[in-house]
Structure 1
């Protein structure tokens, strides 16, 4: 069992050559180690194969415009931080942004959890408990998984991005308050999919049986100083015998995906499961753990990841970026293709899109691997007119079941749109578009296996275009 002192960095001056190394950090697993440094400070990362020295040198922030939330300085939010570091004296840049996975360098797997300004450098809802120094890193020995190999994905029969609602660590939660996501929001129609224990472990906190409490969090101690928290399940579908002290086995049912907040079904437009990871009481980025556990749990060969949300001003250009797409270990993505809202197709990882009109746009991504596997995704891009009020088109769409859809399976689609009129849904299979309400549901069956891009389109209050898209896979 690891202790808190094992995982948290501790201050100790250790001479190496003519430099002083501040912080010796153990990086031997089974969970990543979290440590913080100011610019110019260094840390010695100890593994079973030797040591690696890292020193952050500089931080460059990339921002995007945001006109929904009041009080943001210059109406801009942080979208990424490019952290220049020296690794064993050699310079490199680590990108800190939503959806980034660790990189292997110098005998370790390393990533930037957050930077001080992003963690709580201004007034924001729920700032991080740490991140008071310039850069917060996490690290584990090269060759090790980011979390123990017996960790499984927390939703049964789930397909990644089977909803357009998905918030990843560090992303600005859209159309909300000043809140950069802590944890991972996995969009799902409520009361449909089973939430399961990711690993054997003991429940340390849960709502009283049958009594809704805040967002109904269930916290499970999964050993080695790690705790996983599952939130937003509806109380009537949360097992009444899941209480403090309950032993849960890996894969054991806990409840169903839900929409509870402040003790009631408040998340009408954003139903989801939220997953948080704590290592020795430090909240850390669960995204790498979830991606690795997803490939461990499900047979998908590749995940196209277009990015969840983007923000740009009218007459501005937004750079689409497919580089966060990920293939199963041992496979490789060799082809990237963007299908844009204006009908054009752009080959490559990046595509620069110019937007002349305000609106809510969906841009499609197709990726293919060397062995022929293919996946699709779409990003939602909000194009702001700074002088407009908050009465603008926005929202999401969902479908269920998200996995094990076959020809003849009845699929349920939900629209969760606000300030959108004349809504139509296109199931992507050549069948006629169907009218649907902005907050409504409809069912459809597919006749043939394959990939389909489902589109939900309408008009905003000023007749601006509004569209969201999501990929659906029909299996043979």
Structure 2
């Protein structure tokens, strides 16, 4: 209804509309301009193993200009019809989603912004992991399917929030925006029944790793899997953007790997609560604060069977000061390729991490990594291996400074981690626990004696000979 649209469009910068195929809506933008929006078509692509939707797209017409845009999947808003637009979600995900995370009751959701200005309307929006470089390790965002190491799992968790991986119990989590703490330490304020801010159970007890903060527009911000909160994180207290909440961890239903689950819940045009895709706001906050010349993006992760062609895509990378001049790939097996998109096949199941280097016309560079989970569906194995590795600090590392690395392998099997720090120093060997809910992280400390861009490689083989390989980029400055 129009009233529901008014609730969803709360006076902020972004306007949002849900559309059925062929439906036309006139949306008044925050700067007073109008946009006539029509949903022309939708499409999606699922894998053959789990049936999980790997890519969904919509064809939308805005002010007479039609364009196909990808939904979620680390996609930034695109200019179309004199405005900026994105598609956070389409109904393609409802075929096998494990639950309704979006409150979508039509075919697609479209968000619109003026061509100029901010994407997020709060006075301040802060990247919520303090002093961490942009997506410095593993992430899950934009409704990418999770749990790919469990190929038999066909009720799909499409990750509607953003998981930001980190170093367990060391990386600091701060409030992204100002607001009031409405859930913390296993307690919730009265009056939040029927909202996403509800207490959750895990392993028979109330979870204490979750914090919800309500902003001044009534949106709810979730911070989950915290190792611990700080003493000041108390129910009912107001916090400012950038204020310390706690420490990143793997509490609750984390799957065992340490990360911050960050999610914005907002009233949607359907009149229901639903996820407000946050990747674009995180991008804006980080890029605005740090001013990077280049951000390389090789995500989301890829998933395939042995022998199946895998398309790796770096085209979502951005150069802020100049044009992108080159995309260079270096694969786990040592082979190389160039181009925004490249194709690979894998003969062996495992967890691979492929390196992307993006260079602009002035020679400024950035790196990212595409993680690739390869399974053999014919094996009907209950679980495949994967690995999480992170380091701290990851931003502004100086020559001679100690960098803490932590690793954890998941999946049944043996083996040890082999560490190559990328600087010619002797390799190190560790053995982390390898079961999601028991087992320790392997921790090592390393310092670099010269400035440069160091590419760390951590590798472990299980008893089936399947590799888990993770790579990290450690830029070191004087």
For normalisation by structure 2, the TM-score amounts to 0.85
Q: 1:86 to 1:375 in 2, by over 3 A?
A: same
Deviation of residue 271 (structure 1)? 0.7
Contact kept, 8 Å, 2:64 with 2:81, in 1: the verdict is: no
CA distance in 2, matches of 1:196, 1:464: 37
Deviation of residue 294 (structure 1)? 0.9
Aligned residue for 1:294, secondary structure, equals helix
Q: Deviations over 1:15-36 (max 9, x none)?
A: xxxxxxxxxxx6x963422321
Q: Which residue of 2 aligns with 1:244?
A: 235
CA distance in 2, matches of 1:244, 1:277: 19
Deviation of residue 428 (structure 1)? 1.0
One of 423, 427, 430 as aligned partner of 2:424: 430
Aligned residues between the structures: 437
Aligned residue for 2:226, secondary structure, equals coil
Deviation of residue 458 (structure 1)? 2.3
Contact kept, 8 Å, 1:161 with 1:471, in 2: the verdict is: no
Contact kept, 8 Å, 1:396 with 1:416, in 2: the verdict is: yes
Name which of structure 1's ranges 149-158 and 448-457 shifts more when overlaid on structure 2: 149-158
One of 168, 190, 195 as aligned partner of 2:168: 190
Q: Which residue of 2 aligns with 1:221?
A: 214
One of 388, 411, 420 as aligned partner of 2:403: 411
Q: Deviations over 1:193-212 (max 9, x none)?
A: 22112222222222258x98
Aligned residue for 2:6, secondary structure, equals helix
Q: 1:208 to 1:319 in 2, by over 3 A?
A: closer
Give unmatched runs, 5+ long, in structure 1. Answer: 9-25, 67-74
Deviation of residue 391 (structure 1)? 4.2
CA distance in 2, matches of 1:472, 1:354: 28
Contact kept, 8 Å, 2:44 with 2:92, in 1: the verdict is: no
CA distance in 2, matches of 1:5, 1:217: 29
TM alignment of 1:20-419, pairs within 5 A: 30-47=12-29, 48-66=31-49, 75-118=50-93, 120-122=94-96, 124-148=97-121, 150-163=124-137, 165-174=138-147, 175=149, 178-208=156-186, 213-214=206-207, 216-234=209-227, 237-261=228-252, 267=254, 269-280=256-267, 281-328=273-320, 330-388=321-379, 389-418=381-410, 419=413
Aligned residue for 1:414, secondary structure, equals strand
Q: Does 1:457 align with 2:431?
A: no
Q: Which residue of 1 aligns with 2:270?
A: none
CA distance in 1, matches of 2:260, 2:136: 13
Q: Which residue of 2 aligns with 1:16?
A: none
CA RMSD of aligned residues (A): 2.4
Give unmatched runs, 5+ long, in structure 2. Answer: 188-198, 200-204, 268-272, 434-441
Q: Deviations over 1:23-66 (max 9, x none)?
A: xxx6x963422321111111112223532212112212122344
Deviation of residue 215 (structure 1)? 5.4
Aligned residue for 2:145, secondary structure, equals coil
Q: 1:215 to 1:36 in 2, by over 3 A?
A: farther
Q: 1:4 to 1:158 in 2, by over 3 A?
A: farther
Q: 1:5 to 1:127 in 2, by over 3 A?
A: closer
Q: Which residue of 2 aligns with 1:22?
A: none
Aligned residue for 2:131, secondary structure, equals coil
Q: Deviations over 1:180-226 (max 9, x none)?
A: 102111111122122112222222222258x9842532222222343
CA distance in 1, matches of 2:250, 2:134: 18
Deviation of residue 7 (structure 1)? 4.8
CA distance in 2, matches of 1:238, 1:326: 35
Q: 1:134 to 1:374 in 2, by over 3 A?
A: same
Q: Which residue of 2 aligns with 1:421?
A: 415
Aligned residue for 2:92, secondary structure, equals helix
Q: Which residue of 2 aligns with 1:21?
A: none
Aligned residue for 1:365, secondary structure, equals strand
Contact kept, 8 Å, 2:72 with 2:277, in 1: the verdict is: no
